[in-house]
Chains A and B, each alone.
Chain A
């Protein structure tokens, strides 16, 4: 019984090897102004995926510090990734989902595995399923099998590998592209063991990653080399979401002489041939619709239920049924409970209180005298 079922699942997976949504998780992990380039890296990627169609609601942007409105920034509300300052990465329309102190290892792993607090808003959750392709980009300062967060804590290669395995077990992704730009970046994906992950990094073990160039008016380096050449390829070749360039083209464009470190690619977990994997499978947005089952009646019923839910949610006044009325009656009938709060501080106005204190002292003294007299 089990074998045919497994076989069927396997076959159906092969038949439906398509994704129906694209998500991006873009993480900069460095605090402080001199790490401007890491935020510029991430914002460049943000701009690229947005340009290729992934909406803000499907991009989780984690910015570890306020760079755009930093008092040191000579160009307020602006972040540049090039000294020509032709393109403002911050723009007029940006949604930062995790910022400042919120960018922690814990929050990152909670985001990936969706083990979040019940009140977490949708914009801070990765609401993916087994048909979602996820692009994860990380940048910061790292070392052999670790990446520093906020200059205060580290995430290890094992942590990420285990988080990805948990995602795979929970059917939270279909395929994943993991890209990392940090020193000794390739060690970060060396511990992965989950399926369908394609990984790439900027430098191998014992190699640093370098910044590309600095802007003298901004005063610091504005972008890292690996990200710079990735962007160069994407900007020049992937003009629209209908681009037919493949991941192989992107990986073939890497040149050690330009990047000044040895970029790495890990494909052993990824089952498709890179020649067949479009760049837009991860950087773009597809809207494939998957319809399972032939039963037309069923989805019509579902749609009806959904619209009822929507009506109930948007128009609580028109809610029908006992549930709403019961709730309303509860609201009106429940008595207000005494609120806790600040207590008024009384001055030394009451003589009675002083008299009571003196009285208590006298009583104690009397008891002591009586006790000693009796003994």
Chain B
């Protein structure tokens, strides 16, 4: 009953893990940020950080993942599972600068150490296959047609030596159709030292998480080096979750009451004993809500007030922890923070032969220009025309908007299109980025079983650049698109076979008859019935025979 009034709640689960390759970094910490969002939504952002080494037996860093990284020579890995749409206009900017959320479905990019491209591709395949086994996802479908090598959009987040960097190959793959479900959450929890049995990870229950409006689960592994040359590898994993419908009549008028056990189906089961001892800075749970809202927590926890709007708590190891917020009227929601860019993308045109894509990119800032890279990874059967690419501001084509273009055209059945455009949008302006494309006709066997549903096109990745360093500081994903291709009627081959057989039978039969039969008038036929016919034949034959026999002696 309560849940129905709860639906408009957003939860973001953010779970990063850090591995270190020096034993002194062998530690683990976790924290949860609960943030009230406009529209009676709640963002729950879980963060798990593990430091470990490859050669330690008792590392909190999961060995299963470490082995995969070693086997495929992957130095830095970013794997994201995302479901739903982040409503930037209502909820504002994403936490952690959008780094921990991927595009709809599965998105994976990695820096692989290899001497040349062929070796990088081979290791990338190894990595994808191994991860598909570990995370129960069809990551093995990321083949050469779904892999791109972005130039401007991504920079390594970890520390790599300059010589090492020379040998690193960045590969990026997407699976926009991939569902995210409990079987993906199970291995995620198994990577954590407390396996979801204690600590904040005990809230991660598939039944509640997959009822969200938006959720993302990310695993980021990167090496982090000290000045003395000792390095650690960091992995970050996010799963954002937003639940419910917004047709609640009082939405926006009152702040609805909520509690952890109501939202997640259970309270937090103490703190994880394997995590580092919390400090003033690193607390277990933080709640970011308006100052006026009262908050009740279960006993055994210590409160640390960091600011009027941010209240944090340190959990007791063996005592369940719950947070209860009563209803408050009128609504006291915090103002949403503005993201650097609002982006949306849609298909234009009609028919099954060609189409177009339009991206609407709005800079909400009133005083600063924003510069960003727009990255598209298109399947091979969608063939864009680069000469049709245009960027317009209020109907006028402006040559100064597009700063730079990197492009790699598709090859049929071998690779997809990669398009990276660096754009500069003046304050308060909206840019329309357009291009046209042709739709290829697939072979009969290349269609998926549910071809009439359409083909998912991966979300565009927008990386906001820092004007000074030209490095990506924030990233945004558009939604995925559903492209309908000319789809045959799959029963057509049977129809064709049946029709052809019929035509063959009719044509062959009649022509054969005409060729081999002699047609005579009904009155020319001797006798009436079959018996008389046969008799007639025999008599005629006998007469012929007799005549022939009589003639014989004469000729000899």
Contact residues in B for A100 (Cβ distance below 8 Å):
138, 177-179
**How many residues on chain A are close to B (CB under 8 Å)?**
52
What are 26 contact pairs spanning A and B, CB under 8 A?
Answer: A69-B83, A69-B179, A69-B210, A77-B209, A78-B207, A94-B182, A94-B183, A95-B186, A97-B136, A99-B179, A117-B129, A121-B129, A121-B130, A124-B133, A152-B449, A316-B54, A316-B70, A317-B54, A332-B163, A334-B115, A334-B167, A336-B115, A342-B148, A342-B149, A344-B404, A344-B405
Kindly state whether residue A298 has any CB partner on chain B within 8 Å.
no
B408 touches A342 (CB 8 A): yes
Whether B450 is near chain A, meaning CB under 8 Å from some CB there, is yes
Q: Provide the residues of chain B in CB contact with A93, threshold 8 Å.
A: 186
Query: How far, in whole Å, are A19 and B55 apart by their CA atoms in the complex?
Result: 37
Q: Which residues in window 75-90 of B have CB below 8 A to A?
A: 83
Q: Are A31's CB and B449's CB within 8 A?
A: yes
The yes or no answer to B326 lying at the interface (CB within 8 A) is no
- Judged by a CB distance under 8 angstroms, whether B331 is at the interface is no
Per the bound structure, the CA–CA distance linking A334 and B166 in Å amounts to: 11
- Residue pair B407, A345 in contact (C-beta under 8 Å): yes
Chain A contacts for B137, CB-based, 8 A: 99
Query: Whole-angstrom distance between the alpha carbons of A318 and B55 in the complex?
Result: 8
A333-356 residues with Cβ-Cβ distance < 8 A to B are 334-337, 339-345
**B117 near A: Cβ within 8 Å?**
yes
A121-B211 contact, Cβ under 8 Å, with A95-B186, A101-B449: no
Interface residue ranges, A against B (CB under 8 Å) = 31-32, 66, 68-70, 75-78, 88, 90-97, 99-102, 117, 119-124, 150-152, 313-318, 331-332, 334-337, 339-345
How far does the Cβ of B161 sit from chain A's closest Cβ, in whole Å? 11
Would B117 and A340 count as touching, CB distance under 8 A? yes
Residue in A78, A92, A316 whose beta carbon sits within 8 Å of that of B55 in the complex: A316
Q: For residue A31, which residue of chain B has the nearest CB?
A: B449
Interface of A is mostly: loop
Q: Chain A: which residue is nearest B83 at the CB level?
A: A69
Q: Complex: how many Å from CA A221 to CA B140?
A: 32
What residues of A have a CB within 8 angstroms of the CB of B418 in the complex? 341-342
Asked if B169 is at the interface of the complex by the 8 Å CB criterion, the answer is: yes
Which of B107-130 touch A at CB < 8 Å?
A: 113, 115-117, 125-126, 129-130
B358 interface hit (Cβ, 8 Å): no
Residues of B within 8 A of A313 (CB): 67
Chain B residues within 8 Å of A, Cβ to Cβ: 54-55, 57, 63, 67, 70, 83, 113, 115-117, 125-126, 129-130, 132-134, 136-138, 140-141, 148-151, 163, 166-167, 169, 177-183, 186-187, 196, 205-211, 386, 404-408, 418-420, 448-450, 490
Contact (Cβ within 8 A) A345 B405: yes
CB contacts (< 8 Å) of B134 on chain A: these are: 121, 123
Q: Is the CB of B136 within 8 A of A77?
A: no
- B166 surroundings in chain A (CB, below 8 A): 336
Q: Which residues of B contact A31 (CB under 8 A)?
A: 449-450
* Measured CA separation A121–B207 after assembly (Å): 28
Min Cβ gap A46→B in Å is 11
With A99-B136, A102-B138, A316-B70 already in contact, the answer to whether A344 and B207 are too (CB < 8 A) is no
Q: Which residue of A lies closest to B404 (CB)?
A: A344
How far apart are B229's CB and chain A's nearest CB, in angstroms?
15
- Do A337 and B449 contact each other (CB < 8 Å), given the known contacts A318-B55, A344-B405? no
A314 touches B55 (CB 8 A): yes
The residue from A78, A99, A124, A336 contacting B183, defined by CB atoms under 8 A apart: A99
| A79 closest partner in B (C-beta) | B182
A316 to B54: give the CA distance in the assembly, Å.
8
A339 touches B149 (CB 8 A): yes
Q: Closest CB-CB distance, B387 to chain A, in whole Å?
A: 10
Q: How far is the CA of A124 from the CA of B211 in the complex (A)?
A: 29
Contacts of B177 in A (CB 8 A): 100
Sorted from nearest, which 7 A-B pairs have the closest CB atoms?
A121-B133, A66-B179, A69-B181, A119-B129, A337-B116, A150-B449, A342-B406
A119 near B125 with CB under 8 A, answer yes
Nearest-neighbor residue (CB-CB) of B150 within chain A: A342
With known contacts A68-B181, A119-B125, A341-B149, A315–B186 Cβ distance under 8 A:
no
Let me know if A92 and B138 touch, CB within 8 A.
Answer: no
Tell me how far the C-beta of A346 lies from the nearest C-beta in chain B, rounded to whole angstroms: 9
A122 to B141, CA, bound (A): 17
Inter-chain contacts of B149 with A (CB < 8 A):
339-342
The distance from the CB of B416 to the nearest CB of chain A, in whole angstroms, is 12
Q: Do B183 and A95 touch across chains, with their CB atoms under 8 A apart?
A: yes
Q: Which residues of A contact B209 (CB under 8 A)?
A: 77
* Residue of A78, A318, A339 with most partner-chain B CB within 10 A: A339
Residue of A90, A119, A340 touching B182 (CB-CB under 8 A): A90
Residue pair A317, B55 in contact (C-beta under 8 Å): yes
Task: Tell me, in angstroms, the Cα distance from A60 to B129 when the chains sit together.
Answer: 16
Return chain B residues, CB-CB under 8 Å to A70. Answer: 179
* Apart from A75-B207, A88-B207, A342-B150: 11 A-B pairs, beta carbons within 8 A: A77-B209, A99-B179, A120-B133, A121-B133, A122-B133, A313-B67, A317-B54, A341-B406, A342-B419, A343-B408, A345-B406
Query: Min CB distance, B207 to chain A, in Å?
Result: 4
Residues in B with CB closer than 8 Å to A123 are 133-134, 136
Chain B residues near A120: list those with CB within 8 A.
Answer: 129, 133
User: A291–B148 Cα gap in the complex (Å)?
Assistant: 52
A101 touches B136 (CB 8 A): no
CB neighbours (8 Å) of B169 from chain A are: 339
Assess A119 versus B406: contact at CB under 8 Å? Given A337-B115, A345-B386: no
Query: Taking the nearest CB of chain A, how far is it from the CB of B140, in angstroms?
Result: 8
Given the known interface contacts A32-B450, A69-B180, the answer about A341 and B151 at a Cβ–Cβ threshold of 8 Å is yes
CA distance A233 to B211 in the complex (A): 34
B115 near A335 with CB under 8 A, answer yes
> When A316-B70, A336-B167 are in contact, do A77 and B386 touch as well, CB less than 8 Å?
no
Inter-chain contact B408/A341, CB cutoff 8 Å: yes
The docked-state distance in angstroms from the alpha carbon of A316 to that of B83 is 38
Question: Could you tell me the distance in whole angstroms from the C-beta of A95 to the nearest C-beta in chain B?
Answer: 6
